[in-house]
Amino acid sequence: MNMWQCAGWSDEVTDHPVGRTLLNRRIVMFRDANGTARTVGARCPHRGADLASGTVVDGCIECPFHGWRFDGDGQCVRVPSQPATVKIPPHARVPAFPLLERNGVLWVWMSAGEIQLGVPPSDAGGIQRGVPVPDPPATAGRNVRRIFFPPQLIAAPILRTLENAFDEAHLPFIHRKTFGADRDPLVERKHIAVDPDGGGLVAQEDPDSPWHTAPTLPRGWVGVLAAMLGLRAPVARYVRFELPCVNHVYLEYPNGTYDLFVTYLTPADDAHTWLFVSSARTRAPHALGDWIQRRVLARIFAEGSRETTLILAAGSDSPPRQVSVESDRTSLRVRQLYERWDEAPQAPRDDGGARAQRPGEAL
């Protein structure tokens, strides 16, 4: 895939290595002596130990098995079982992958294609790509609270996970205790605007929808607390999709404050997907607001584990032809854009169908 892919959050990579499987490859992220985040393949070329279980020493990653050390370029720089005067075999290296750190997000380039520096998807949707997005919020500034939630490994393939991220109709059934509580199951028809280059879309309320729903707010004490924290029926909202895999949900309230959820999806392997959810908001811009949002997100993910079972069940015994209705239209358009991009000619794929690439050497 010739794209920058989200690999995680900046604050995950401290003085410990972080191992992760992305695009069918085990990688390890760590910081070099300058504090720059680096990514290399995690399989030690000596006897195959997982470098992610090792330690970071002098800005290098040290294998836990026999202590070989690899720098941020993937080159072995130390073999403790021999004196420093003895030459290290030139093949003692692991692939290195370019990594960008931007606004708290880590972007990895795992493709063989030519690197497009400086074009990972932006926080603010299509703005960077010159695509008009309604009411673009600033995601940095004094009154903006930013949260990076713990990455979630979802046991479902990317396409199903992606579709699900744009599926509004499941909320009152699966997310009964969080944002689906007391929600009207009716889903209004959306107006969908696809970017001219097919790289994304924006879906928002269609004033001409044949039916309308009134936004509902949580009831009971949760509702009282939410109202105290500025939660009101939104006056504007949209969802945005951007290739390779970003989902934005934007809600704006009568006093001009907003909630923006930005989710990056990256395939781990053919059956698992990483979900990196972050939020930016000006509503309730304080620590209590952060605490509540973290709690709510944790509950949503807990509800989602049931959802994953349903998604997987559908995957193992799918109907030969899926039946869709109006409320599936946004998901279907997103799926179409993703599939069109995924099937477009890409840089050559290596090892037995793995989507990533021939890394390292070309870099």
Residues at the interface with Fe ion (CB under 5 A): 307
Query: Which of ligand FES, Fe ion, none is residue 66 near (CB under 5 to 8 Å by kind)?
Result: ligand FES
Residue with tokens 């370019």: 98
Q: In whole angstroms, how close is the CB of 82 to ligand FES at the nearest point?
A: 12
Nearer Cβ to Fe ion (123/307)? 307
Neighbours of 263 (CB within 10 A): 20
Residue count at the site for ligand FES (CB under 6 A)? 8
Query: Which of ligand FES, Fe ion, none is residue 294 near (CB under 5 to 8 Å by kind)?
Result: none
Q: In whole angstroms, how close is the CB of 97 to ligand FES at the nearest point?
A: 19
Contact 260, 281 (CB under 8 A): yes
CB-based contacts of 350, cutoff 8 Å, min separation 6: 112, 356, 357, 358
Say whether residue 26 binds ligand FES (CB under 6 A).
Answer: no
- Residue 300's nearest CA partner among 171, 208, 195 is 171
Q: How far apart are CA 303 and CA 181, in angstroms?
A: 12
Q: Which amino acid is at 262?
A: V
Ranges within 168-207 binding ligand FES (CB under 6 A): none
Q: In whole angstroms, how close is the CB of 89 to ligand FES at the nearest point?
A: 12
Ranges within 32-71 binding ligand FES (CB under 6 A): 44, 46-47, 49, 63, 65-66, 68
Q: How far apart are CA 144 and CA 279, in angstroms?
A: 10
Q: In whole angstroms, how close is the CB of 75 to ligand FES at the nearest point?
A: 14
Neighbours of 269 (CB within 10 A): 16
Q: Which amino acid is at 179?
A: F
Residue nearest to Fe ion (CB): 307
Under DSSP, is residue 53 helix (H, G, I), strand (E, B) or coil?
A: helix
Q: Which amino acid is at 109?
A: W
The mark string for 142-171 relative to ligand FES (x by CB under 6 A, - otherwise) is ------------------------------
Query: Which of ligand FES, Fe ion, none is residue 44 near (CB under 5 to 8 Å by kind)?
Result: ligand FES
Under DSSP, is residue 183 helix (H, G, I), strand (E, B) or coil?
A: coil
- The b-or-e profile of 115-154 (16+ CB within 10 A means b, else e) is eeeeebbbbbbbeebebebeeebebeeeeebbbbbebbeb
Nearer Cβ to ligand FES (62/242)? 62
Q: In whole angstroms, how close is the CB of 222 to Fe ion at the nearest point?
A: 19
Q: In whole angstroms, how close is the CB of 12 to ligand FES at the nearest point?
A: 23
Query: Which of Fe ion, ligand FES, none is residue 340 near (CB under 5 to 8 Å by kind)?
Result: none
The residue ranges that bind ligand FES (CB under 6 A) are: 44, 46-47, 49, 63, 65-66, 68
